[in-house]
Amino acid sequence: MTITCANGYQILFAGLDDPEKIKSITPQRGVITDIWVEEATETDRTAIKQLDKRLRGESQKSKRLILSFNPILQDHWIVSEFFYGWNDSKNVLQDEDRLILRTTYKDNKFLTQIEALENETDPYYYDVYTLGKWGVLGHVIFRNWRTEDLSELRESFDNFRNGLDFGFAKDPAALIHTAYDRKRNRIYVLDEIYETELTNDVLAERILSLIGKQVVFADSAEPKSIAELRNFGVNIRAVKKAKDSVNFGIQWLQRHEIIVDVRCQNTINELRKIQVERGRKWKSASDPN
């Protein structure tokens, strides 16, 4: 399980069936500078964290952790850990800390049997194995959305809408800051607040810092929280849920094009996971039931 080069440096191979085993891995010369995990979606976060800790020790070489995989399900931990800001319309993302490269069968000039990939009829397998996209299982409610860097467009918007969903411990307090283009039937998701254990005074600070005195619409089921936020200076209004309002709201959103800023990762996660289950029932990503 080891290749030793003529200069004494080594390539070490190990399985991840037990992450504790890799704690003792030490090369005979120098330190570990590169770790490559094949089929990374079959590992858990703990194993990758253990591997990352092996990239310590002084070296003149830059340290690299490489993960290669088929992108299976969108709720995989790799998505939240590394794919923040990912634009699904592009194949490359690079910043100071990451390089993400998406390749497909079209990038393999030696591949011959491609008919099965191109003729795949199952939406999940087509997305994952043909297009190289993160897959979704089930009947996702929203497919009418995409991500985009909205930095340069922000100053052009003047019709803003803000919605707040209360939460504290397990469920986060969530505010979404949007711009509405009625003529084009477009909703632009510009920013978000998505945090747990925010007391109302801290939540008010977050809201005022993000949107100032813009109106915020919130669920009337939390009158005490609404009153406290109003006392802290938030321009907040209560909204009562009419009969069948959830289904009506979903249908209204489905008639629009939704463009989400690449930095709104929590909104992206929610849109990916909200699914129809058993008829007209629906389930949110943050709904434990």
| pLDDT, tens digit (0-9, with 9 covering 90-100), for 212-225 | 999 999 988 889 99
DSSP per-residue letters across 42-69: GS-HHHHHHHHHTS-S--SSPPEEEEE-
Q: What is the pLDDT of residue 60?
A: 80
Containing 163, the helix (H) or strand (E) segment is: strand 160-165
- Residue 259 in this model has a pLDDT that exceeds 90: yes
Res. 282: pLDDT tops 70 = no
Which residues are bridge partners to 258 per DSSP?
Answer: 145, 187
Q: Is the pLDDT of residue 268 over 90?
A: no
Per-residue confidence (pLDDT) for residue 242, from 0 to 100? 79
More confident residue, 141 or 71: 71
Exposure of 218 by Cβ count < 10 A (0-12 exposed, 13-18 middle, 19+ buried)? buried
For the beta carbon of residue 29, count every other beta carbon within 10 angstroms: 10
Q: Provide the pLDDT confidence category of residue 285 given band limits of 50, 70 and 90.
A: very low
- Range picked from 204-208, 241-245, 249-253, 281-285 for highest mean pLDDT: 204-208
Query: From CA 175, how far away is CA 210, in angstroms rounded?
Result: 10
What percent of the chain lies above the pLDDT cut of 90? 46
The per-residue pLDDT for 137 is 64
Has residue 281 got a pLDDT over 60?
no
Structural domains of the chain in order of their starting residue, each with its CATH number: 2-69 (no CATH), 77-137 (no CATH), 145-283 (3.30.420.280)
| More confidently predicted of 274 and 36 | 36
State yes or no: pLDDT of 200 exceeds 90.
Answer: yes
Residue 122 confidence class, pLDDT cut points 50, 70, 90: confident
- 158: tokens are 């003047």
Q: pTM surpassing 0.85?
A: no
pLDDT for 138 equals 63
